[in-house]
C-alpha cells in the first residue's frame, strides 16, 4: 500500500515527540500491514519520550515508537498463510531470530537477538504498522479494541505472577503502574490467598484495589516492611512481584520475602542497584527471577483464557482514551502517575 500516514515520531535525542506525516510502511513477503485501531502507552514509551539514561543508550531517533496495539490486517506478504486480510489482531512485540540456542529450546522470549517493536524497529503509534506475520495474535471478534491493545502488557503481569506457584500464597506487588495493577488482578485470579499492593501513589493504589488487591500500602506514609510482616503474621510474603525499579523498593522486596520465597523482577532500574546478597538472598534461600517479555505464545494463551473466562477484568486499568493528536496529554498523565492505561486512537 502506497501513501502517507500520521505517526508519532521520536524525532530527536531529547525530551518529547512529534506528530508527523510519514510514508506508510512497505512490507516484505513474510510481513503484514495492519491498520492500527487502538494503541496504548507503555512505561517503556515513557522512558523513550522522557529520554532517560536507558533510552539514551538503546534507541536511535528519528523513528516511530510505540508497541502495544490492536488493529486490522489490510495487506499480506506473498508467503503469509497464517493470517488473512480482515483479521483482527494484536502482536507479540519481541521479534526473535528463531535460530539461537534459546529459540531452539523453546525459550524465544529470551532470544539473544531480540528486537522490540517500537524500540529497535518502527512502531505502532501510527495509522499503520508492518510486522512479521509470525508475531501476530488473532483476537476474538467480540474483544473491545482498547482491551485488545493492552494484552501485551497484561502478558508481562501474567508472566511475572505465574512464574511460580501462587495458589494459596501471599503475594506482594511492588509498584502499581498499569502492569503492577494488572498483576494484582492476575494473582487473585490465580488463587492467591492475599495480595498486598505497594506504591507511593494513592490514585494507582485505588486502581490496584479495584483490580483485586486485598490490601494497599502507601510506602511513603507507612513502613512497607512493617506492614508486610504485620499482614503475614510475621512470616513475610511468599511471592514478591517487583514492578517499580526503585533501588529502595527492590531492597524492601527482598527483605519482605519469607525464607524460601520467590522474588520475580520485571522492573528496569536505570542504574545498578546495591543489594545484600548474603542476608537477603542466600541465607533466606530465595529464588530470584528476572522476567522479560512473555513466553511465546504460552503467555498469550493464558492472557486470552483469563480474559475470556472473566476471571480478570482489565477495564478498571484503562482510565483514559485520547486521539493520537493529544499524545502530549497522555504522556503527561503517565509521567505524573495520574492514570492507569492511556489508549490512543489514530
* Listed residue (322, 323, 324, 317) closest to 339, CA to CA: 317
Does residue 297 have a cis bond before it (omega within 30 degrees)? yes
**CA pair distance 341, 78, nearest whole angstrom:** 36
Type and span of the H or E element at 131 = strand 128-132
- Residue 47 annotated among the catalytic residues of the structure: yes
- Residue 199: phi and psi, rounded to 5, are -165, 175
Selecting among 39, 47, 121, 232, the annotated active-site residue is: 47
Residues 6+ apart with CB under 8 A from 334: 41, 43, 45, 46, 342
User: Measured at the alpha carbon of residue 77, what is the angle toward residues 74 and 81, in degrees to the nearest 5?
Assistant: 90
Selecting among 44, 160, 232, 258, the annotated active-site residue is: 44
**DSSP category for residue 296:** T
Q: How many CB atoms lie within 10 A of CB 185?
A: 27
CA 322 to chain centre: 20
- Residue 44 annotated among the catalytic residues of the structure: yes
Question: Sign of dihedral through CA atoms 69, 73, 74, 80?
Answer: positive
**CA pair distance 247, 275, nearest whole angstrom:** 8
**CA pair distance 302, 251, nearest whole angstrom:** 30
Q: Report yes or no: 325 and 19 within 8 Å, Cβ to Cβ.
A: yes
* Listed residue (231, 224, 216, 229) closest to 251, CA to CA: 224
The three cell numbers of residue 213 are 488487591
Strands 237-242 and 170-174: parallel
**DSSP category for residue 193:** S
Catalytic residues: 44, 47
Amino acid at each position: 500500500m502506497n501513501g502517507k500516514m500520521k505517526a508519532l515520531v521520536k524525532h530527536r535525542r531529547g525530551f518529547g515527540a512529534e506528530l508527523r506525516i510519514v510514508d506508510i510502511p512497505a512490507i516484505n513477503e513474510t510481513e503484514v500491514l495492519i491498520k492500527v485501531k487502538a494503541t496504548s502507552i507503555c512505561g517503556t514509551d515513557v522512558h523513550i519520550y522522557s529520554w532517560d539514561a536507558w533510552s539514551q543508550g538503546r534507541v536511535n531517533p528519528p523513528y516511530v515508537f510505540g508497541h502495544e496495539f490492536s488493529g486490522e490486517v489490510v495487506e499480506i506478504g506473498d508467503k503469509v498463510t497464517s493470517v488473512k486480510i480482515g483479521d483482527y489482531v494484536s502482536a507479540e512485540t519481541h521479534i526473535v531470530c528463531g535460530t539461537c540456542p534459546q529459540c531452539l529450546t523453546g525459550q524465544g522470549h529470551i532470544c539473544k537477538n531480540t528486537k522490540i517493536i517500537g524500540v529497535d524497529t518502527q512502531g505502532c503509534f501510527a495509522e499503520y504498522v508492518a510486522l512479521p506475520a509470525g508475531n501476530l495474535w488473532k483476537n476474538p471478534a467480540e474483544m473491545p479494541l482498547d482491551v485488545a491493545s493492552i494484552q501485551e502488557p497484561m502478558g508481562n503481569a501474567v508472566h511475572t505472577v505465574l512464574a511460580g506457584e501462587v495458589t494459596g500464597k501471599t503475594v506482594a506487588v511492588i509498584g502499581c503502574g498499569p502492569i503492577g495493577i494488572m498483576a494484582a488482578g492476575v494473582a487473585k485470579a490465580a488463587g492467591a490467598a492475599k495480595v498486598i499492593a505497594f506504591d507511593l501513589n494513592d490514585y494507582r493504589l485505588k486502581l490496584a484495589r479495584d483490580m483485586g488487591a486485598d490490601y494497599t500500602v502507601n510506602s511513603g506514609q507507612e513502613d512497607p516492611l512493617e506492614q508486610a510482616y504485620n499482614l503475614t503474621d510475621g512470616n513475610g510474603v511468599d511471592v514478591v512481584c517487583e514492578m517499580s525499579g526503585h533501588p529502595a523498593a527492590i531492597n524492601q522486596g527482598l527483605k519482605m520475602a519469607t525464607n524460601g520465597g520467590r522474588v520475580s523482577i520485571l522492573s528496569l532500574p536505570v542504574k545498578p542497584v546495591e543489594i545484600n546478597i548474603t542476608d537477603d538472598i542466600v541465607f533466606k534461600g530465595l529464588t530470584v527471577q528476572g522476567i522479560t517479555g512473555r513466553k511465546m505464545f504460552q503467555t498469550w494463551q493464558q492472557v486470552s483464557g483469563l480474559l475470556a473466562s472473566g476471571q480478570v477484568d482489565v477495564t478498571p486499568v484503562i482510565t483514559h482514551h485520547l486521539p493520537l493528536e493529544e499524545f502530549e496529554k497522555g504522556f503527561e498523565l503517565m509521567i505524573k502517575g495520574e492514570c492507569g492505561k492511556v489508549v490512543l486512537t489514530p
